[in-house]
A and B are shown apart, each in its own frame.
Chain A
Amino acid sequence: MAPKLTVSRLNKSFGDLAALRSIDLSVERGEFISVVGPSGCGKTTFLRIVAGLEHATSGEVSLDGRLVREPGTDRGFVFQNDSLLPWRTAFANAIIGREVAGKIGPADRERTMELLKLVGLEGFESYHPRQLSGGMRQRVNLARALAIDPEILLMDEPFAALDAQTREIMQAELLRIWERGQKTVLFVTHQIDEAVFLSDRVLVFARRPGRIQAEIKISLPRPRTLEIKRTPEFVAMVDRIWKMIEDDVRTAALYENA
């Protein structure tokens, strides 16, 4: 079967700074891929290029064989900050992608209601963002990306701003939703345990220039529950990845505090 997403010889530089160098990647339909790495390794830039929000300096990205140049409704982006419109209700926020694509009919409304239910927001459709907790706002953010029925979900550290407990719950929720729809997911995070818990494969990025340092297959059985995080296999896997990026993280931390 042809891969869902193909990235070949992708380079990106900002002036003299090489942000990404020679990224090659092939993602199968329904695969859950995470990208981890220290800050400044270009993982978010990589995701934004796939989204079409930024242009690569060279190399190409193709989705279902079509070259990606601009943003489009075949990709659903879940932002780190929820980016909800404060003047719209949860429902009106979730349906905005379909609104941009054209006229919305009863089927679109119904689907959006279904998705809000799927992400656990039944009964909160007419609430405004300021009335919702951080976790609930991220659920709307996810529903909004799912509402356009994208070929691939691009998630940029979506749980980074949440407290530890809410984050764990959201990880489990995301898996539950993913297992139902079997969407292809590209998930950027700096939490190694989050990447291991969610993914089929984890791409470990190195910095300066940003590149793929290692690709690790996660063969933990599915469906996974949060308990799996306490198994020795899981802990060993997290430890292994941490050792790969440890030096990079320390350097990054030094640079950022300087």
Chain B
Amino acid sequence: MSATGHGVETASAPVPVPAKASSHHVFSSLRSRYLAGTLSVVGGLLAWEIVSRFLISNALFLAAPSQIAVAIYNLAVSGELWHHMGISAVEFAFGYVIASVLGIALGVAMASSVTAKQALQPWVSGLYATPTIALAPLFILWLGIGIWSKVIVVISLVLFPVTINTEAGLRTTSERLIEMLRSFGATKRQIFYKISLPSALPFILTGLKLGIGRGLIGVVVAELFGSRAGLGRLISQSADAFNMPELFAGVVILAIAGIVMTAGFGWLEERLVPWTRD
């Protein structure tokens, strides 16, 4: 048999071609992906501007986007904005990181031990369904109006979705994959690190993503109940002064923070768990 003839069998296997789109193609697909969204946002802002300028001209009820932009600019220049943002960011970061680490640990414990699961499940289910944010005044009473009362509120909101998703992800690990590794004589520890943890990763990331929105709500609402600084504080003092542009400035900053962090997670997911895309 000739050398070329020998490769026939392998050549018959279909060869997958990674999708490599031309730059023109990418551009047009970008346009079709974002065109409707962009138009919708610009149109909405325009309508808002018109309504607040001509229909509801009383500045006590609504601020136009242009006024909000000016307010954000002024707050930024005076340095007040950075101060509020900094405080809120620290509260969020502490609470979020602690809740993530703790939530993953609790999820792992619940997935690996039946006793741990039975002991923790009622608390997790109960507290996840409870609007624990209502306890914010209590936390402030205990810990004062500094950042720690806010951190606790953030933890109480972020912890449970992370725990629940971690546990669910580990529990739904494919038995077939576990058996495959077992057939090579793998230890429990190897099964956990090589199979369970990577296959639970998409679930864990979903839990962390859910935590972003809940954590932001926690920071703001806890600050509304009592604080010296922070975006929630900015919003409440603007409301007291009927300063609508600054109130909206706080809200807009929070919205941007939420969008940026969620988009960051989307980016992370594409890199860490690309196999879940299709």
For B194, the chain A residues whose CB sits under 8 A away are: 85, 96, 99-100
B180 touches A79 (CB 8 A): yes
B275 touches A100 (CB 8 A): no
Chain B interface size range: 20 to 34
Question: Any chain B CB within 8 A of the CB of A167?
Answer: no
For B190, the chain A residues whose CB sits under 8 A away are: 100
**In the bound complex, what is the Cα–Cα distance between A176 and B278 (angstroms)?**
35
B interface footprint on A170-200 (CB within 8 Å = 1, 0 otherwise) = 0011000000000000000000000000000
For A73, the chain B residues whose CB sits under 8 A away are: 184-185
Q: Which listed residue, A75, A99, A130, touches B278 by the CB 8 Å rule? A: A130
Q: Which listed residue, A53, A87, A127, touches B179 by the CB 8 Å rule? A: A53
Question: Any chain B CB within 8 A of the CB of A26?
Answer: no
Q: Which listed residue, B14, B183, B199, B273, touches A133 by the CB 8 Å rule? A: B14
For A51, the chain B residues whose CB sits under 8 A away are: 183
B181 touches A79 (CB 8 A): no
Q: Which listed residue, B9, B182, B198, B274, touches A172 by the CB 8 Å rule? A: B9
Task: Using known A-B contacts A79-B176, A79-B180, determine if residue A133 contacts B13 with beta carbons closer than 8 Å.
Answer: yes
Question: Any chain B CB within 8 A of the CB of A132?
Answer: yes
A169 touches B9 (CB 8 A): yes
**In the bound complex, what is the Cα–Cα distance between A72 and B14 (angstroms)?**
34
B176 touches A85 (CB 8 A): no
Q: Which listed residue, B10, B16, B181, B199, touches A96 by the CB 8 Å rule? A: B181
Question: Any chain A CB within 8 A of the CB of B131?
Answer: no
Interface residues in B94-136 by Cβ distance below 8 A to A read none
By a beta-carbon cutoff of 8 Å, the part of chain B in contact with chain A is 9-10, 12-14, 16, 18, 176-177, 179-186, 190, 194-195, 198-199, 273-275, 278
Can you sample 10 A-B contacts with CB below 8 Å? A71-B182, A71-B183, A73-B185, A77-B180, A83-B179, A100-B186, A100-B190, A122-B10, A127-B16, A169-B9
- For the complex of A and B, the 9 pairs showing the least CB-CB separation, nearest first, are A120-B10, A86-B275, A83-B180, A77-B183, A97-B184, A100-B184, A100-B186, A131-B16, A72-B185
By a beta-carbon cutoff of 8 Å, the part of chain A in contact with chain B is 51-53, 70-73, 75, 77, 79, 81, 83, 85-87, 96-97, 99-101, 120, 122, 127-133, 135-136, 139, 148, 169, 172-173
